[in-house]
Amino acid sequence: MIAEAVVSSVIEKLGDLLIHEGFFLREVCGEVEWVQKELTWMQAFLKDAETKQNDARVKKWVEDVRDIAYKAEDIIDEFIFKIEQKRRGFLGPIKKTFARHQLGKEIEKIKNQLDEISKRRSNYGIKDLCQGGEGSSSMSESLREQRRTSHLYEQTELIGFQEDIRTLVARLSEGDRRRCVISIVGMGGLGKTTLAKKVYNHDAVKKHFNCCAWIYVSQEYNVKDLLLSIMRCFMIPTEDPNVDQLRVKLFEHLMVRRYFVVVDDIWKTEAWDALAATFPDTNNGSRILLTTRNKDIATDADARCRPHELQLLREDESWELFNKKVFFQEDSHCPQYLEGLGRQIVAKCHGLPLAVVVISGLLSRKPGLLSEWEKVLKSISWQFVEGDANISPILALSYEDLPYHLKSCFLYLVAFPENYEISVEELIWFWVAEGFVHARGAETLEEVAEDCVQELIQRSLIQVVKKSFIGTIKSCRIHDLLRDLSISKAKEENFLHRDTDPLFM
């Protein structure tokens, strides 16, 4: 719950303010302490309210608390800024007194609003609605203490894809000498990109082609950026000329090579048409691999080459994937007393890999109790329709299960463009700077943030893109369906204002 994260941040800032800036606060110390204590009490209710937001009264009360916490945070930040101005000699004694007076007035307003919100909690019966919930919180705390490694559960990516990989590798390295465009087609969440990566990194493919490139297209694309991305993969030097010059230079480079290019997540035939003429056909067995949800794009790209239509997982494959995601230690499997519920949960995913891994990621962080698994089963409400990738209820269920600080970390991903390769090091800096992670024992904030990355990976809410030679995660990305969820939740929570242009390019 974002409200709890904001309140927690404000409580911490108020505590720091009272400790380090007591001299400047003087006569308003009492009011600041009152606000801190009242918010601390509200934070306790917010923990319980998290599971009750289907009640309109609770939802409205939570929104009121969140809004007042934002206001308090802005007031504190402004006052701290003015204190720094004073220390640097930018504020005289009159302006310093005025700043403290203004803080007092604003804190008084916050007090009155908090008092009103507290009364509403009792007047409308919200206090009685918010009971319990401590078990899952303590479980999350104990789980966060565990250092995790990703290699144990990355093996799950191969489940259900072995035959697809063999077929595609053969089609890429054998058959027609002409330049062929092979398309992987299927609904969102089937694993098209995961399959394409396995093929792209296959030893037989690497040996067969002189040069390989991978580009993401997505719904919003820029032709010049796509061409530059291909040229960087092929290590072609460029001084950033115009689009026509890029096309010519790339075409000439590929004329004398057997090349392989993956064009991932293409949504429009116009996007392919803008790139097609750049790839020469010199009858040397060059290949292009597209991933798309739209079969018409596959036909437009190469009518003579049948698309590779990705299928839903079989029941046994779904169960194997579920077991390896929930019980990711080597040779672990679902205990017999949970198997009946587990199979019912898997059946609700209808063989869609993304649905299986996300719900499995949620259960991997839960205690192995019948009551916990029953709650999850009852909460899965989505109805599967062939060809329909709207699995937002399952994804939302996993989001709602996150501890409040991880919700903030997850929602922050909306700041990055679709299919953007996110540097984990930079992401950690951003999370720490935003105050999403808090000190834990002797660990640094960066170490705590690294655990947050691992937690989101294990829950299958973000995906590993690159790792260092010693196994640490260097970059990650978010699936576009999960990104859609983060955008929706960020708007709902008033978490982040996002302009038309992404923050990071």
Size (the chain), residues: 505
What amino acid occupies position 12?
E
Return d(Cα 214, Cα 236) in angstroms, integer: 14
Q: Worst-scoring range by mean pLDDT, 194-208, 251-265, 361-375, 383-397?
A: 383-397
Q: Is the pLDDT of residue 143 over 50?
A: no
398 pLDDT more than 50 = yes
- Per-residue confidence (pLDDT) for residue 364, from 0 to 100: 87
**pLDDT of 485 above 50:** yes
Residue 97: band (very low, low, confident or very high) from pLDDT cuts 50, 70, 90: low
In the predicted model, is pLDDT for residue 157 greater than 80? no
Instruction: Give the Cα separation of 12 and 255 in Å (integer).
Output: 62
At 65, the pLDDT band (50, 70, 90 cuts) reads confident
Distance between CA atoms of residues 102 and 31, nearest Å: 13
Q: Could you give the CA distance from residue 345 to residue 376 in angstroms, rounded to a whole number? A: 8
Quick one: pLDDT at residue 342? 93
* Over residues 133-143, mean pLDDT: 39
* Banded pLDDT at 333 (limits 50, 70, 90): confident
Q: Is the pLDDT confidence value at 208 over 90?
A: yes
Q: Which residue has the higher pLDDT, 368 or 261?
A: 261
- Tens of pLDDT, residue by residue over 17-64, are 555 544 445 555 666 666 666 667 666 666 555 555 556 677 777 777
- Residue 53, pLDDT score: 54
Q: Which residue would you say has higher pLDDT here, 12 or 51?
A: 12
Residue 134's pLDDT is: 40
Positive or negative CA dihedral for 399, 405, 409, 411?
positive
**Per-residue confidence (pLDDT) for residue 441, from 0 to 100:** 83
- Which helix (H) or strand (E) element contains residue 265? strand 259-266
- CA 459 from chain center: how many Å? 10
CA torsion sign for 491, 387, 311, 347 is positive
pLDDT tens by residue, 280-311? 999 999 999 999 999 999 999 999 999 999 99
Q: Cα separation of 373 and 376, whole Å?
A: 5
254 vs 112, more confident: 254
Between 139 and 394, the higher pLDDT residue: 394
The two three-digit tokens of residue 132, written as one number: 């319990």
More confident residue, 29 or 241: 241
How many CB atoms are located within 10 Å of the residue 202 CB? 17
Which residues pair with residue 182 across a beta bridge?
289
Among residues 124, 130, 35, which one has the least CA distance to residue 79? 35
Report d(CA 192, CA 123) in Å as an integer: 52
Neighbour-count burial of 318, counting CB atoms closer than 10 A to its CB (0-12 exposed, 13-18 middle, 19+ buried): buried
122 and 41 Cβ atoms separated by less than 8 Å: no
User: Which residue type does 6 have?
Assistant: V
Q: What is the CA radius of gyration of the chain?
A: 27
pLDDT > 70 in the chain, percent: 70
- pLDDT, position 135: 39
The mean of the pLDDT values for the chain is: 78
* pLDDT for position 505: 44
Question: Is residue 179 packed enough to be buried (19+ CB in 10 Å), middle (13-18) or exposed (0-12)?
Answer: buried
What residues contact 232, with CB distance under 8 A and at least 6 apart? Answer: none
Task: Indicate if 161-309 has the same CATH topology as 2-132.
Answer: no
For residue 138, what pLDDT band results from cuts at 50, 70 and 90?
very low
Q: What does the CA dihedral 343, 346, 351, 353 come to, rounded to 10 degrees?
A: -140
Q: Across residues 211-216, what is the average pLDDT?
A: 92
Any residues with CB less than 8 A from the CB of 374 and at least 6 apart, and which? 341
Nearest to 3 by CA among 27, 39, 37: 39
Cα–Cα distance for residue pair 451/141, rounded to 1 Å: 12
Say whether pLDDT at 392 is over 90: no
| Each residue's pLDDT tens digit, 399-444 | 888 888 899 899 999 989 888 889 999 999 999 988 888 888 888 8
Q: How far is the C-alpha of 1 from the C-alpha of 439, rounded, in Å? A: 19
Fold of domain 161-309: Rossmann fold (3.40.50)
Q: Can you tell me the distance from the alpha carbon of 477 to that of 418, in angstroms, rounded to the nearest whole number?
A: 9
pLDDT of residue 256: 92
| pLDDT > 90 fraction of the chain, expressed in percent and rounded | 31
DSSP letter assigned to residue 493: T
- Round to whole Å and give the CA distance between 202 and 212: 12
200, pLDDT greater than 70: yes
Which residues fall within 8 angstroms of residue 218, CB to CB, at 6 or more apart?
265, 267, 417, 418, 419, 480
What b/e readout covers 394-426, taking b as 16+ CB neighbours within 10 angstroms? bbbbbbebbbbbbbbbbbbbbbbbbbbebbbee
Mean pLDDT to the nearest integer, 134-148: 39
333 vs 205 pLDDT, higher one? 205
Q: Is the pLDDT of residue 235 over 70?
A: yes
Sequence spans of domains, the chain:
2-132, 141-156+313-400, 161-309, 404-492
Query: Going by DSSP bridges, is the β-strand pair 308-309/259-266 parallel, antiparallel, or unpaired?
Result: unpaired
- The pLDDT of residue 43 is 64
User: Region 142-150: what's the mean pLDDT?
Assistant: 39
Report residue 242 CA to chain centroid gap.
Answer: 34
| pLDDT value of position 72 | 74
Q: Which pLDDT belongs to residue 437? A: 87
- In angstroms, the CA 61 to CA 67 distance is 10
Q: Distance between CA 467 and CA 121 in Å, rounded? A: 48
Average pLDDT for 441-453 = 89
Query: Which top CATH class is 404-492?
Result: mainly alpha
Question: Helix, strand, or coil here: 318?
Answer: helix
pTM to 2 decimals? Answer: 0.67
Task: Tell me: pLDDT of 67 over 50.
Answer: yes
45: amino acid identity, one letter: F
Return d(Cα 502, Cα 484) in angstroms, integer.
Answer: 14
Pick the CATH number of 2-132 from 2.40.128, 3.90.320, 2.60.40, 1.20.5: 1.20.5
